[in-house]
Copies of this chain bind each other. A is one copy, B any other.
């Protein structure tokens, strides 16, 4: 019974590779990287956040967030504001330009979704989503920290 499941895993892995390549190049065209964009995306969902909170949300070290924020700040996409009550912390805040950019990226994502899945028969699409949900459930149980759900960028 290995055959069919292996075929499925193969497909998923290939999708992973191609999708990753597409994302990387698309972002590079706008001078962004995947890591920085992930942070930005999280910021859009959560609003101004502490670097510590961002580190936990992205599942990376606090030190790394410092570097990512440095880059984004250099690109004029975020600013570091003082935290109103905790003087140790800084609030990372997206700029207006960042919000405009995120808007565009969300639109682009919806367009990509239609491009990839729009041609599927509706019941096929539903089956795909349902199947992936089942797989995700098992995957989350398998991967440590799989429950940490930050909106998929």
Contacts and interface: CB of A to CB of B under 8 A. Distances in A.
A6 B109 contact: yes
Contact of A5 (B114, B131, B142, B144): B114
Interface in A116-149: 116-120, 122, 124-136, 138-140, 142-146
Contacts of A114: 1-2, 5
A27 interface: no
A67 interface: no
A104 interface: no
In the complex, the count of this chain's copies comes to 2
Given A127-B127, A143-B22, A12 B115 contact: no
Contact of A127 (B1, B115, B128, B145): B128
A64 interface: no
9 contacts: A1-B114, A5-B117, A11-B132, A11-B136, A12-B15, A18-B143, A18-B146, A21-B146, A22-B142
Nearest to A118: B5
Contacts of A12: 15, 19, 132
B131 A127 contact: yes
A9 B112 contact: yes
Contacts of A6: 109-110, 113
A58 B25 CA distance: 16
Contact of A125 (B4, B17, B129, B142): B4
